[in-house]
Amino acid sequence: MKTFNPAKPDGENETLTIALPDSGTPTLGNTYQVPARCGIAVKMTAGQSIKITNPSGHQVCDFWAFYQHDLNEYLSMEHLRTSLGKIIPVPGDAIVSNMRRPLLTFLVDSSPGIHDTLIAACDHQRYQQLGCNDYHDNCTDNLRMALLAIGCQAPAIPSPFNLWMNVPVDASGNTSFEAPLCSAGDYVVFKAEYDVIIVLSACPQDITPVNGANCQPAPVDFMIFIDD
């Protein structure tokens, strides 16, 4: 019987070849781009901040953080919702791990504040269920490949913090997949409270309208800096 290996992608894209140098070490103040449909991993040391920008205004970014010194500790949306008492964090909130430690602090949000903590990352199976016969780029594989590209292995597929993803919950508890509500150039900033590996995936979803009504995935930009 085939056993499940969380680190092994179901297919490939250029995520495997676009890693930052030195195993994901950024040059502070440089703006990097995550190409549409791809993922990138970047190392941050405690005290550094990351600014993630939505150039098109309609792109969702799946966002993960792993504790650099033990990848089995990572941001956990279910633990986060417990600590917050709500489903969407705002600036000032601690973003906690599965060990309930605040790996990050949410510092700034220039967008209307609509993000998602409920929905799993898209994956090979999701696109098969949506009717794709061939391989479709997906955020789960982007996470796996982005980590492989810096010499790491995904220990699991944690639920992502889906930046700008608009999944409203109505009074009856029903959810729907809607277009993002942000504008071109909107950004968020998180500060690392511990040494972390961040993984960003410019979600390749082009079947449901989560990346805008035109279903056209776009790039995401990011920069690591020290706020002083």
| Residues of the shown chain interacting with Zn ion in the complex, contacts defined by CB under 5 A | 122, 139, 203, 205
Q: How far is the CB of 122 from Zn ion (least distance, A)?
A: 3
Closest CA to 207 of 75, 69, 37: 37
- The residue among 68 and 201 lying less far from Zn ion, judged by its C-beta, is 201
Question: For residues 107 and 119, which CB has a smaller minimum distance to Zn ion in the complex?
Answer: 119
In angstroms, the CA 134 to CA 191 distance is 39
Burial class for 121, CB neighbours closer than 10 Å (0-12, 13-18, 19+)? buried
- Minimal distance in Å, beta carbon 91 to Zn ion? 24
**Minimum distance of Zn ion from residue 22's CB (angstroms):** 27
Closer CB to Zn ion, 48 or 211, in the complex: 211
Q: What are the C-alpha distances in Å from 191 to residues 108, 163, 164, 200? A: 10, 15, 18, 15
Q: Which is nearer to Zn ion, 188 or 210 (CB)?
A: 210
Q: Give least dist CB 221 to Zn ion, A.
A: 18
Bridge partners (DSSP) of residue 186 are 54
Beta bridge pairs of residue 224: 50
Q: Which helix (H) or strand (E) is 44 found in, with range?
A: strand 39-44
The span from the CA of 95 to the CA of 23, in Å, is: 24
Between 19 and 220, CB nearer to Zn ion = 220
Nearest distance from C-beta of residue 130 to Zn ion, angstroms: 12
